Amino acid sequence: MNLGDSGDAHSLEADQVVSAIERACESDLRTALRLVARYSAYWWSNGLQDEAAAAAERVLSMLGRTVPVGLDEEYLLAVIHGAASAEQEQVELAQQVVLTATGPFRYSITVLLWSLVFGPFEPADVVEDVLNRNEAGDAWTRAAVELCRGYPGLTAASPDDAAQSLRTALGRFRMLDDPWGLFLVLSALRQVVDDPLDVTTEALELAEQLCLVEQTALLLCERADLYRSLGKLEDAHADYSRALSIGEHSDLLETVAAARIGLARTARHSGNLPSARTHLSAVLTLPNLEDAHFEALHELGVLNASEASA
């Protein structure tokens, strides 16, 4: 299952997929539910979680607490997509689908999405059981299982074992030539390696290739932080500036704040205190970002101390 090459799904615009599901909701809920499951990989591998949530929420609103006979896993996938707005009883029904299953999932994508969305809230032994049940699946599923085994916080694996699982997953996704799988592994691996610069750079390149706008901006900020810690201030400035441009263009206010705070720190380390103050002042004008405001005020305090000692 190569999610980087989503075949026929790539020929459809996301809104057309949602429209097809909405039409099916009016005539055949079972078909609508199957469509949600069918396009799960397409949505997630193209950064279209909002579209997935919209489609799933429509289907779930009509199904309520009824799991159609023979479509347990499809119902589970719909709840995964619509988890933010699903009713508590719907979430519990989805959990029962997982807990009562004795064999592997039928859809390759399910083990990964369940692990990423619900896995962090489940006991580690439950996650391990789900992964064990699915480790004999197709090549893509086996790679996904290793990714989940190594993903931070999902299992009770030791740091060394988790890192080894991620490296195994990385090798498998490379053999499958799957950019999305590689991106997910590298995003996890950068959190556990001693020197994350090269891993972050490759993850960034894949995010750009996959047109994952928000993730690209976040990774630019993360790589800029690494450059700044290494004293490579010009490289840091370039990455923060790119992240700021993406954030402003895409209305990603948290990314805008992070990029400006990074630019302010880079400017302070470069001795350009007026530029640093300009960036921090701009952060304070962004609405509804209390954490960013606190961080900007703290940085202003550092800046004031630097000016006083100059």
- The answer on pLDDT for 6 being more than 80 is no
CA-based torsion, 176, 177, 180, 183: positive or negative: positive
Residue range 55-68, pLDDT digits in tens: 999 999 999 999 99
SS3 state of residue 178: coil
What local confidence, expressed as pLDDT, does residue 239 receive? 98
As given in the structure block, the two tokens for residue 234 are 């010009």
How far apart are the C-alpha atoms of 23 and 2, rounded to whole Å?
Answer: 28
Residue range 26-45, pLDDT digits in tens: 889 999 999 999 999 999 99
How far apart are the C-alpha atoms of 48 and 67, rounded to whole Å?
Answer: 25
How far apart are the C-alpha atoms of 157 and 200, rounded to whole Å?
Answer: 23
Q: Which residue has the tokens 């859809």?
A: 107
Residue range 65-82, pLDDT digits in tens: 999 999 999 999 999 999
pLDDT-derived band of residue 310, with 50, 70 and 90 as boundaries?
A: low
Helix residue ranges, H only, the chain: 14-27, 29-38, 40-45, 49-63, 72-81, 88-100, 108-117, 124-134, 139-150, 159-176, 179-189, 197-209, 213-229, 233-250, 253-270, 273-284, 290-309
- The answer on pLDDT for 5 being more than 60 is no
Q: What residue type is assigned to position 229 of the chain?
A: S
Above pLDDT 70, what percent of the chain? 95
Residue range 115-127, pLDDT digits in tens: 999 999 999 999 9
pLDDT-derived band of residue 18, with 50, 70 and 90 as boundaries?
A: confident
- Cβ atoms of 113 and 83 within 8 Å: the answer is no
Residue range 195-239, pLDDT digits in tens: 999 999 999 999 999 999 999 999 999 999 999 999 999 999 999
How far apart are the C-alpha atoms of 34 and 37, rounded to whole Å?
Answer: 5
Q: What residue type is assigned to position 129 of the chain?
A: D
Average pLDDT of the residues of the chain: 93
What local confidence, expressed as pLDDT, does residue 309 receive? 79
73-101 exposure pattern, b = at least 16 Cβ within 10 A, e = fewer: bbbbbbbbbbbeebeeebbebbbebbeeb
Give the number of other CB atoms < 10 A from CB of residue 48: 17
Residue range 95-151, pLDDT digits in tens: 999 999 989 999 999 999 999 999 999 999 999 999 999 999 999 999 999 999 999
Give the number of other CB atoms < 10 A from CB of residue 65: 10
As given in the structure block, the two tokens for residue 70 are 């023979």
Q: What is the CATH number of domain 212-310?
A: 1.25.40.10
Q: Which residues have CB under 8 Å from 70's CB, separation 6+?
A: none
